[in-house]
Structure 1
C-alpha cells in the first residue's frame, strides 16, 4: 500500500519547531503509513479570511503532490460571526488550518500531535462527517486563546532583548544600595507603598517598550473582526512584556539582596539611622531598590530595538508575514 503523502505547512519559528516533531506520526490503528513533509513558510495573515489561507495550502499541495495538507499557524482564526476557531477544514480538498494558540499554550507538542493525527484521520476517511469548522466557546475560548498567544510569544526570551536595561538597572541598584538616603526612604515606606512602587515601575517600563518599539496594533478597518484582532494582539503583547519585565525585576531583586547582604552591616546602618536595623530590613531595602533601579535603568538606558522585543508583538510578526507573502508572490 502506498503511504499517505501529508504536507505540514508551518509558520516560521515556534510552529515550525512543533511541526518538525510530528514527522513520526502514525495512524491510530496502525494500518497504513504516513509520509509527512514539513515546509516552513508564512501562509496566512490575521487580516484575511481563513479561506485565503486554505487556498494557499491547496496550491502548495498541488505543487508537492500531497494527498492532504495541514497548515499550522500561530495566528488566531475566526469565522464571519466573530467566533474564534480551533481549526478550519475543507474535507473535499483535504485541507485544514490549525490555530496553535487555540490549543491553550500548555503541553503544545502533545496537544498538537493529537490534533494533527485526528485531522489526518478525519480527512483521509471519506465516510467522516462533513465538518468544516471547530469553534471555541465564546468567553472561555477567548481566554484560552489569549493564554496560548502569550505562551507562543515565549516571554522568558525577552530577557536577552532587555540586556542593556538590565545592566543599567543593576548598576543603578548597586549604587543605590549603599546610599544612606535610600536607606531612609526604604525604611519610611509602608508595604502598600512598596507594592505601588513595584507596579508603577513595571508598568512604566512596559509602556516605554510599547512606545519605543511601536508595538501597539491598530485595526485595519472598523469591522468587529479587525477590532477584536487588535484587542487580542495588544492584550498578548502587554501580557508578554509584563511577564518579561517581571522576570527581570525578580532577577534584579535577588542580585540586589545578595549585594546588600555582602556589603552592608545592619548594626552600622542602625547606628547611622539611629534606629534598630536587622537582617530582615535588607529585604525591604532590596525591594525598594529593585523598583527604583527598574525605573531608572529601564527608562534611562535607551532600550534597544531588539528582535526579541519585536517578537513579543503579534502585529510585528504579522507585518513580517505579509512582507514575505508579498515577496513570494512577486517572485513566483
Structure 2
C-alpha cells in the first residue's frame, strides 16, 4: 500500500519545534503509512483572512507533490464573524490550518500531536470532502487563547534580553543592602506599602520595555476584527513582559537575600535602626531593596538584546512575517 505524503508547514521557532516532533506520526488503524515532511516558513499573517493561509498551503502542496498539508501557526485565527478558531479545514483540498495558541499552551506537544493525527486521519478519508471551522467558546476560549499566546512567547527567555538591566539592579541592590538609611526606610514601611512598591516597580519596568522597544500594536484599520487582534497582541505582550520581569525580580530577591545574610551584622543593624532585627525583618529589608533595585536597574540601563524583547511581542513577529512573505512574493 502506497504511503500518504503529508506536509507540515510550520511558522518558524516554536511551531517548527512542535512540527519536528510529529514526523513519526502514523495512522492508528493500520491503513496507509504517512510520509511526513516538515517545512519551516511563515505562511499567514494576522491581518489576513484564514482563507489566504489555506491558499498558500495548497500552493505549497502542489509544489511539493503532497497528498495533504497541515499548517501550524502561532497566530490566533478568526472567522468572518470574529470568533476565535482552533482549526480551519478544507477536506476537499486536503488542507488544514491549526492555531497552536488555541490549544491552550499547556502540554502543547501532546495536544498538537492528537490534533494533527485527527486532522490527517480525517482528510485522508476519501469519504470526507467538507470545509469547516472549529471555533472556540467565546469567553472561555478567549482566555485559553491568551494563555496559549503568552506561553508561545516563552517569557522565561526574556531574562537574557534583560541581562544588563538585571546586572545593574544587582549592583544597585548590593549597595542599598548595606545602607543604613535603606534599613530605616524598610523598617518603617507597612506590608501594603511594600506590595504597592513591588507592583509599581514591575509595572514601570514593563511600561519602559513597551515604550523603548516600540512593542505596542495598533490596528491596521478600524474594523472590529483588527481592533480585537491588536487587543490580543497587546494583552499577550503585557502579560509576557510582566512574567519575564517577575522572574528577574524573584532572582534579584534571592541573590540580595543571600548577600544580606552574608554581609550584614545583626548588631550593627540593630544599633542603626533601634529595632530588634530578626530574620523576618531581613526578609522585609530585601523585599524593599528588590523593588528599589528593579526600578533603578530596569529604567537606568539599555536593553541587552532587542531581538529577545521583540520575541515577546506578536506585533514584531507579525511584521517580520509580513516582510518575509513580501520577499517571497517579490520577483528575483
SS state of the match for residue 330, structure 2? Answer: helix
Once the two structures are overlaid, the 10-residue window that deviates more, 166-175 or 30-39, is: 30-39
* Aligned residue number for residue 240 of structure 2: 240
Q: CA deviation at 1:129?
A: 6.8
Structure 1 runs not aligned, ≥5 long: none
Residues 276-324 of structure 1: per-residue CA shift (max 9 Å, x gap): 2112211000000000000000001123452111000000000000000
1:225 pairs with 2:225: yes
1:258 pairs with 2:244: no
Is 1:267–1:278's contact at 8 Å kept on the other side of the alignment? no
In the aligned structure 2, how far is the partner of 1:180 from the partner of 1:331? Answer: 68
Q: CA deviation at 1:275?
A: 2.2
- Which TM-score applies when normalising by structure 1? 0.98
* Number of corresponding residues: 332
Poorly superposed stretches of 4+, deviation over 4 Å: none
In the aligned structure 2, how far is the partner of 1:129 from the partner of 1:331? Answer: 35
What does residue range 45-194 of structure 1 map to in structure 2 within 5 Å? Answer: 45-128=45-128, 130-194=130-194
Once the two structures are overlaid, the 10-residue window that deviates more, 28-37 or 212-221, is: 28-37
In the aligned structure 1, how far is the partner of 2:162 from the partner of 2:298? Answer: 8
Q: CA deviation at 1:30?
A: 2.3
SS state of the match for residue 61, structure 2? Answer: helix
Is 1:61–1:69's contact at 8 Å kept on the other side of the alignment? yes
SS state of the match for residue 69, structure 2? Answer: strand
Q: CA deviation at 1:110?
A: 0.5
- Which TM-score applies when normalising by structure 2? 0.98
In the aligned structure 2, how far is the partner of 1:193 from the partner of 1:28? Answer: 59
Q: CA deviation at 1:273?
A: 1.8
Residues 63-117 of structure 1: per-residue CA shift (max 9 Å, x gap): 0000000000000000010000000111110000000000000111100010000
Structure 2 runs not aligned, ≥5 long: none
Q: 1:139 to 1:129 in 2, by over 3 A?
A: farther
In the aligned structure 2, how far is the partner of 1:178 from the partner of 1:93? Answer: 69
